Amino acid sequence: MTIWKTLALGLGVLAASAQLSRGQEATPPPEPTPVPTATAPEPTPAPPPPPSQGQSQTSNYFNPSISVIGNFLAIAGKNPVDNQPNLSLRESEVALQAIVDPYARADFFLSFSENSVEVEEGFVTFTSLPLGLLAKVGKMRVSFGKINTLHLHVLPWPDTPLPIVNLLGGEEGWKGTGISLARLIPMPADIFSELTAQVFRGEAEGLFELRNRSDIAYNGHYRLFKDLSEATNLDLGFSYGAGPNATSTDETRRWTKLEAIDFTLRWKPLRTGNYRSASLRGELFRSRRDEPQELGGKQTARGWFLSGEYQLAKRWFAGARIESSDHADDASKRDTGQAVILTFWPSEFSQVRGELRRRRYAGGITANEALLQLQFAIGAHGAHPF
């Protein structure tokens, strides 16, 4: 019963925010736009002035571009397995990005939860290497599958799909500290193809555990992209990763080996794409975890999700997702879930999203929840996610 109340509340907030954004339009002074109109063009200086004018700002010239994205999440319903707070500023992500020198750029993404901070990513990218190589060094989201590479705020849902949670170490997914090398592999018919090889410290939260300095985690990713037509394109990825798991001892190194196939099919007619588009994405995972016999031996766990999103209007998107995943450390346990999602973008810089989710956890526990997410971005205009 409560779930319907929450849904009603959530939709109420959605509608209210839509109203709010309308209401805002009515309040400003009657001029159509605050910037000078074309009827009174200002005389233009021959050389365009630099972006920052005035002496005082020239010292800011080389400062990185800064943006902050707030991610507020409200959850209602009962979930004894994954008991997240009812109201939380789940993440405040600060991005600092700039060119280092003629050879490299650097990107830092600092993720603040309400009471702690983590370097979610912090890496330098060498963009001028020979042989068509692109190297990243630092801490980064691992190129394993597609969703794992994306930051929380660009996911098409307010939560993380089960296979990421169960097989890649938790909500946060797999992040690694090390080196990444990527090269374009020439293919006929204008197919984009990129091979990425990554080596990390053999440590990742909930996934790999470091015992010796020689413990290393690996990942390989092969991405193919093809424009099927002007409006339709297909993104395919194949990933293989491995690292020492927490059941390793000083004598025996036990591995967790991970495989994934991901696909994203997008449709966006170029002329009307501001109003209508659709995407279908899915990923299939397998985790093979060596465990000592007393813990059950080798665990081969599988997981997948399938998700679709359809754009209803310029600022409205509806979506649905189904998901299923075994537990990495006990493949006999399986969780499944279904969700429907509605997203409203007041502007390019803010987003309200509601999700109704049912998850059936191993052991016969069912959780019905309503999630309401509010995201807001300030600062430098980042690239649109693709």
Partner 1 sequence: MKNALAALLLFAGLAAPALAKVQVVSTLQDFASIADAVGGDRVETTALAKGYQDPHFVDAKPSFILKLSRADLLIVAGLELEIGYLPPLLDQSRNDKIRANGPGYLDASIGCEILQRPTTQVTRAMGDVHPYGNPHYWTDPNNGRVIARAIAAKLSEVDPAGKAAYEKNLAAFEARLAAKQKEWDAKMSPFAGTKVVTFHDSWPNFANHFKLAIAGHVEPKPGIPPTPSHTLEIINLIKAQKIPLILVEPYFDTKTPKAIAAQTGATVLTLYPSVGGAPEIKDYFSLFDYDINAFVGAMKGTK
How far is the C-alpha of 343 from the C-alpha of 308, rounded, in Å? 13
Beta carbon of residue 89, minimum distance to partner 1 (angstroms, whole number): 21
Which of these segments, 116-124, 254-262, 273-281, 304-312, binds partner 1 (CB under 8 A)? Answer: 273-281
CA nearest to 357, candidates 26, 76, 57: 76
Contact by Cβ (8 Å): 344, 335:
no
DSSP string, 276-325: --EEEEEEEEEEEE---GGGTS-EEEEEEEEEEEEEEETTEEEEEEEEEE
Beta carbon of residue 360, minimum distance to partner 1 (angstroms, whole number): 36
Which of these segments, 145-153, 327-335, 347-355, 367-375, binds partner 1 (CB under 8 A)? Answer: 347-355
Of residues 212, 252, 347, 366, which one binds partner 1 by CB under 8 A? 347
Which of these segments, 131-139, 160-168, 304-312, 325-333, binds partner 1 (CB under 8 A)? Answer: 131-139
Residue 366 CB coordination number (10 Å): 13
201, two tokens? 């410290």
Of residues 1, 29, 39, 101, which one binds partner 1 by CB under 8 A? 39
How far is the C-alpha of 58 from the C-alpha of 103, rounded, in Å? 23
Element (H, E) at 163: helix 162-167
Locate the DSSP E strands across the chain. Answer: 65-77, 87-101, 104-112, 117-126, 133-141, 175-184, 192-201, 216-227, 232-244, 255-267, 278-289, 299-313, 316-327, 330-347, 350-361, 365-379
Contact pattern for partner 1 over residues 297 through 336, marking x by CB under 8 A: -----------------xx---------------------
Query: Euclidean distance between the first and final Cα of the chain, in Å?
Result: 38
101 binds partner 1 (CB under 8 A): no
Ranges within 159-198 binding partner 1 (CB under 8 A): 184, 190, 192, 194
> 142 pairs with which residues across the strands?
none
Contact by Cβ (8 Å): 245, 208:
yes
29 binds partner 1 (CB under 8 A): no
Beta carbon of residue 10, minimum distance to partner 1 (angstroms, whole number): 23
38 binds partner 1 (CB under 8 A): yes
How far is the C-alpha of 127 from the C-alpha of 139, rounded, in Å? 17
230 binds partner 1 (CB under 8 A): yes
Beta carbon of residue 133, minimum distance to partner 1 (angstroms, whole number): 7
Beta carbon of residue 47, minimum distance to partner 1 (angstroms, whole number): 8
Of residues 49, 54, 188, 363, which one binds partner 1 by CB under 8 A? 49
Residue numbers at the binding site for partner 1 (CB under 8 A): 21-22, 25-26, 30, 32-39, 41-42, 44, 46-49, 51, 105, 125, 127-129, 132-134, 184, 190, 192, 194, 223, 225-227, 230, 233, 235, 266, 268, 270-275, 314-315, 347-349, 378, 381, 383-384, 386
